[in-house]
Structure 1
Amino acid sequence: MNNVNTIIEHAEQNCKSHGARLTIKRKQILSSLVQSSKALSAYELIDLFLQQSGEKIPAMSVYRILDFLEAENLVHKLKLANKYIACSHITCKHEHGVPQFLICSTCHTVKEITINKSTIAELQNTVKNAGFQLVSPQLEINCICNECLASAA
């Protein structure tokens, strides 16, 4: 990803633009996610916070911070894994499609991609025709990354 400070500054400006505040603890949690290539759980973030700041942070505080960051479109929650990842589009100024996540089942690296809106619409129609309503168009796709594939060969 880009320079962490640049990303955090952009996130701070984004929050300010609609009256929200990116506090020091929020910045630290976001920074940990930005620097990680893997999705992290709240408890992994608690451990990182302690390592980096020498300060303990309660789990409820981390969950509130993650809820805030998700509401600000700065992080995404991977629902199947119950982990979080920084949005790969934090510094972009344009609107993006629905985020989708490729998750390596070997090394747990996560890559955010976008899928064409027409593909999502087709998926919604298929779901509707099956007698269901799509609650979230976010897909989390189990994959194996090229590095893991190459090292397994």
Structure 2
Amino acid sequence: MQNLKQVIAHAEKHCINNGSRLTLKRQRVLSGLVLSKRALSAYELIDFCKKEFGETLQPMSIYRILEFLKDQELVHKLDLLNKYVACEHINCNYKHLVSQFLICVKCQKVKEIHIDKSVMTGLQRNVEKVGFCLDSPQLEMNCICDACISSQA
């Protein structure tokens, strides 16, 4: 991930362009996600803000901030873990493709990759064939990262 100051500056500009503001509290929560090497829960972000900034944020505030950051496409919520990660492409200026998240079940490291449009079209067709409508195209897969595989050897 790029320099934290650059990421925050880009996120601020992105929010302004969308008619909103990246407040100091939002910046701090986003910083925690950008600096983390794994997905974080709301409560882990509360601990991060307390430790790094001496600021105690209430759970409802954190959840509102996370929802804002998610709506701005700066972070992603991982439903399998009920945790959040900063978008790996946070500094891009293009519309993001469908994300697939590879989640290490050992260390909870997360890697965001994109799915080819043809794969998503096929998945969408399969879903519709059986009478369902895809609610979210985001895919999350439990995996084991190379570092964890190496440490088992």
Please classify the TM superposition score into its range, dividing by the shorter chain length: over 0.9
Equivalent residues in 2 for 1:70-149 (5 A)? 70-149=70-149
Q: CA deviation digits over 1:58-92, x for unaligned, max 9?
A: 10000000010001000000012111000011111
Report the equivalent of 1:31: 31
Q: Which amino acid aligns with 2:73?
A: N
Query: Any idea what SS the aligned residue of 1:89 has?
Result: coil
Q: State how many pairs are aligned.
A: 153
Cα deviation for residue 113 of structure 1 reads: 0.4
Query: Any idea what SS the aligned residue of 2:34 has?
Result: helix
Equivalent residues in 2 for 1:46-61 (5 A)? 46-61=46-61
Which consecutive unaligned segments of at least 5 residues does structure 2 have?
A: none
Q: Which amino acid aligns with 1:34?
A: V
Following superposition, which runs of at least 4 residues in structure 1 exceed 3 angstroms of deviation?
A: none
Q: Distance in 2 between matches of 1:55 and 1:2?
A: 25
Overall identity of the aligned pairs, in %: 55
Q: TM-score, normalised by structure 1?
A: 0.97
Q: CA deviation digits over 1:85-123, x for unaligned, max 9?
A: 000111112223111100001111000000101101100
Q: TM-score, normalised by structure 2?
A: 0.97
Query: Any idea what SS the aligned residue of 1:70 has?
Result: helix
Query: Any idea what SS the aligned residue of 1:73 has?
Result: coil
Which consecutive unaligned segments of at least 5 residues does structure 1 have?
A: none
Report the equivalent of 1:18: 18
Residue range with higher mean Cα deviation, 128-137 or 2-11:
128-137
